[in-house]
């Protein structure tokens, strides 16, 4: 398989994304290196073929957004909305990620080795997210399906208004959101965490994680609840 390099200090971003949307589908190029990303927005968005893209440096907003089948690695940090609405494949951030990482991802795996900002995994719809560090407040808000493994700590209102997504946290949780609760870890949970950690390349004891899932008390409107949940 061929390898290609795009230097964003010398080439416009559109040239990279156009190649990834068209030429890459011919299947001759297996690996694309992106140099000098310098915080540009929309790097390697909307991919839909199995190609490896390595971004060397810091990416801006929405890197790897809507990813399908491809593997996108960012050696530095990622801005707002990394891997937003991912369908499948993998997005791996070696540094930290800003707000809204993996928002509404339907599938695939998002790995963030450092910390993630606020609202990580908001409205998650089936994707998996593994965070090596901590996540900010309001993470997994209204998350519907999929799993989040958090190796560090979580901020306020973790898992607020959760649907069927399941969260695993190793560190401390500042506060749980409405309708989220701790549940006992089953063998299945331990296997799931072990498998996700393995895919992420992170070394933690799966038994050290706690499971958080929905109480499901918000699923049906309760006129007598008087807005007290």
Partner 1 sequence: MCGIVGLLVKTPALREQLGALMVPMLIGMTERGPDSAGLAVFGTPLAENERKISLYSGLTDDGADFNWLGLTHELKGHLGVSATVEPKGNHAILSFDIAPTVVKRWIKEHHPRLHILSTGRSIDLYKDIGTPAEVAARYGFTGLTGSHLVGHTRMATESAVTPDRAHPFTAGEDFCLVHNGSLSNPNGIRRMLEPRGIRFETDNDTEAACRFLEWRLREGDDLETALQKGFEELDGFFTFLMGTPDKLALIRDPFACKPAVVAETDDYVAIASEFRSLAHLPGVKHATVFEPAPEEMYVWNA
Q: Is 76 in the site for partner 1 (CB under 8 A)?
A: yes
What 3-state DSSP class applies to 208? helix
Distance between CA atoms of residues 197 and 210, nearest Å:
14
Stretch that binds partner 1, among 34-42, 166-174, 183-191, 196-204 (CB under 8 A): 34-42
Distance between CA atoms of residues 25 and 128, nearest Å:
25
Among 58, 147, 170, 211, binds partner 1 (CB under 8 A): 58
Q: How far is the CB of 83 from partner 1 (least distance, A)?
A: 17
Quick one: which of 37, 216, 42, 205 has its CA closest to 144?
216
Among 42, 77, 104, 139, binds partner 1 (CB under 8 A): 77
β-bridge partners, 90: 71, 109
Phi, psi torsion values for 23, nearest 5 degrees = -55, -35
Residue list 147-186, contact with partner 1 (CB under 8 A): none
Positive or negative, the Cα torsion across 72, 94, 34, 59? Answer: positive
Q: How far is the CB of 55 from partner 1 (least distance, A)?
A: 12
Residue list 84-123, contact with partner 1 (CB under 8 A): 95-96, 98-99, 115, 117-118
Q: Is 60 in the site for partner 1 (CB under 8 A)?
A: yes
Contacts to partner 1 by CB under 8 A: 36, 38-40, 57-58, 60-61, 76-77, 79-80, 95-96, 98-99, 115, 117-118, 136-138
């Amino acid at each position: 398989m061929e390898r290609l390099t795009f230097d964003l200090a010398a080439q416009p971003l559109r040239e990279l994304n156009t190649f990834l949307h068209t030429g890459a589908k011919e299947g001759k190029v297996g690996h694309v290196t992106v140099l000098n990303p310098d915080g540009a927005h929309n790097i390697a968005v909307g991919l839909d073929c199995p190609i490896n893209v390595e971004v060397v440096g810091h990416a801006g907003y929405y890197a790897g957004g809507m990813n399908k089948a491809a593997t996108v690695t960012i050696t530095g940090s990622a801005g707002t909305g990394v891997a937003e609405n991912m369908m499948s494949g993998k997005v791996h951030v070696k540094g930290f990620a800003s707000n809204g990482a993996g928002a509404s991802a339907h599938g695939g795996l998002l790995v963030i080795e450092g910390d993630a900002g606020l609202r990580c995994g908001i409205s998650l719809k089936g994707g998996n997210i593994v965070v090596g560090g901590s996540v900010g407040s309001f993470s997994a808000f209204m998350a519907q399906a999929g799993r989040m493994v958090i190796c560090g700590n979580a901020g306020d209102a973790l898992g607020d208004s959760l649907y069927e997504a399941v969260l695993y946290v190793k560190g401390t949780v500042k506060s749980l959101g409405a309708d989220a609760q701790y549940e006992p870890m089953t063998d299945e949970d331990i296997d799931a965490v072990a498998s996700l950690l393995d895919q992420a390349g992170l070394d933690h004891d799966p038994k050290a994680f706690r499971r958080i899932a929905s109480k499901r008390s918000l699923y049906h409107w309760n006129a007598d609840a008087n807005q007290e949940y």
